Structure 1
């Protein structure tokens, strides 16, 4: 197994220089740094993390609290974090939302971490009170509300994402569009609903409160979308399209429509947001708005690790934009055969 001394000999530098490169501590000329990195790669050198931790006072580990490991959206965020963390020589510990507040505190207190990533403002509201107990642990969050947090964050423009989906439906002459998404006490906590309302208002189409279907407790599962659409159909509500707040709700809605005898998109069009992998494989493939999930994860890890290593302070970025992905779950109203369009 290669040692630090072996790396130094191959790169023709001192062991101190190798340490500076590994720990990002102290100036090293760029050509020399690249020579050391190449020697590390050639020798397949793996630093002894325990020894380095004792010397630097850092664990090379970051904690991550996610809203739901069952939603592939958050899985993609985690993959982006993992890729960047691994590239920078860090590992990370993952905590799911099923933990209660005391569990969060105990887990973070028992295990030494250099920083914390929170993958939802919903989760941050649950752990914010713990910040004073974390001894100045650096924290950054993925933020999908309009309310500005008190911690550094990276965000996606979800108002714009929903507007893209609704504009697409409006371009197909849909006017009775059902919103299927999270239920929030304040509009600032629900950018997707705000995007839905703005798109309709800008098109001069009245907002029909009965077509706004909020799902409580921030549930974003297939079953939540399925059950809510079944309830709406049983109530006799009429609409020609569904704008879902995420792909899981949209896919659940499509199954509910099928089970009630409606065809997508011949009877009712459906859009989602996120562009998770399964969205392109369901029948019909889902028209959705692609959110740059892995990019968000990489940026979160980059900002946190840069802060930990003292390279940069946290800095604000504009919200990342989504991109409309057209597939086969939407169609113009003039081809609809549903009684909803009579």
Structure 2
């Protein structure tokens, strides 16, 4: 396996930023640390490649924000939180939408590198990045602070702001069970993302703890987008042994689910109960009461931006900051089991 700058940083016990400065002969590095890094590079026979070239030393007051779906209101609220702190601290933002596409994400990172951004806040795509060493090395080799938001990257040491998705899904499923539902379908997210896996785990945990059998025919897999929620719900409605409740694992799939239910004149909760993950403001405006697991979305953005600023002030720190926020289950009546 090729040696990465992370290997160098770990062996020399310095930050990735320090290794990047030494490799690019840029920025201030104490002489003893510079010599240590150069010695480690020689010992490990490190050969830099085109991906591993760091950003230019020219600094700006610009940060990059990389999200997977600009149409998702969740990310709009996150960006609002980021922008609030960025404005207060006189930072500009370059926003990139990857559309859950790994190739677009690589292009976005390359563009941000050329723009010499100071740091990046990113929600990685759900395209097996957690298991992709090339992807991890590409992020690390940028040589600038990176803060993850909502989704993790396995084996990384990046700062991050996350949500306790497992417990949120557990509470939602448990609430349906407490209402008397036994046949509960779940429209899960992609299992290549941690939130997708954790929400399915929360569902399974609630079923097991309530001593209910988990019927795999009620487990469906979407992609966190509206169309998948729509198509899956139409499949659910065709089932002979139809579930009495559906738990949908994000807001966009929930919108698709509600669209399908409306088209079939299915009453919520009269014909089928429903709980979604993430608030949908449009439904609140229309006074359409859907029970939901809500996240402190704007707060997540604020925390991520403050975390990035702290890292910019102390890039030499090897301490990784990771914060997990708690969701809130709000029951509005759509979870009911009606005769």
Q: After TM superposition, is the score higher than 0.5?
A: yes
Whether the aligned pair in 2 keeps the contact of 1:119 and 1:141 (CA below 8 Å) is yes
Secondary structure of 1:180's aligned partner: strand
Task: For residue 282 of structure 1, report the CA deviation from its aligned partner.
Answer: 5.0
Show the counterpart of 1:183.
Answer: 190
Task: For residue 261 of structure 1, report the CA deviation from its aligned partner.
Answer: 3.1
CA distance in structure 1 between the partners assigned to 2:113 and 2:128 by the alignment: 17
In the alignment, is residue 128 of structure 1 matched against residue 136 of structure 2? yes
Number of residue-to-residue matches in the alignment: 276
Secondary structure of 1:128's aligned partner: helix
Match of 2:330 among 306, 321, 325: 325
- CA deviations 1:106-147 (Å, max 9, x no partner) are 31232011001112363792853423542x111110144595
Q: What does 1:210-225 align with in structure 2 at a 5 Å threshold?
A: 210-215=217-222, 219-225=223-229
Secondary structure of 2:277's aligned partner: strand
- CA distance 1:149–1:196, shift in 2 (3 Å): farther
Show the counterpart of 1:78.
Answer: 79
Whether the aligned pair in 2 keeps the contact of 1:163 and 1:198 (CA below 8 Å) is yes
Whether the aligned pair in 1 keeps the contact of 2:161 and 2:324 (CA below 8 Å) is yes
Whether the aligned pair in 1 keeps the contact of 2:224 and 2:250 (CA below 8 Å) is yes
- CA deviations 1:182-213 (Å, max 9, x no partner) are 13269886100000000110000110100000
- CA distance 1:258–1:131, shift in 2 (3 Å): closer
Give the TM-score taking structure 1 as reference length.
0.73
- CA deviations 1:270-313 (Å, max 9, x no partner) are 00111132242356321101101111111110010111123994
- CA distance 1:265–1:281, shift in 2 (3 Å): farther
Whether the aligned pair in 1 keeps the contact of 2:60 and 2:116 (CA below 8 Å) is yes
CA distance in structure 2 between the partners assigned to 1:289 and 1:161 by the alignment: 6
Give the TM-score taking structure 2 as reference length.
0.74
Q: Give the aligned CA root-mean-square deviation in angstroms.
A: 2.7
Secondary structure of 2:324's aligned partner: coil
Q: What residue ranges of structure 1 are gaps of 5+ in the alignment?
A: 1-55, 337-342
Show the counterpart of 2:144.
Answer: 137
Show the counterpart of 1:58.
Answer: 59
Q: What does 1:291-306 align with in structure 2 at a 5 Å threshold?
A: 291-306=295-310
Q: What residue ranges of structure 2 are gaps of 5+ in the alignment?
A: 1-56
Secondary structure of 1:239's aligned partner: coil
- CA distance 1:124–1:232, shift in 2 (3 Å): closer
CA distance in structure 1 between the partners assigned to 2:333 and 2:275 by the alignment: 10
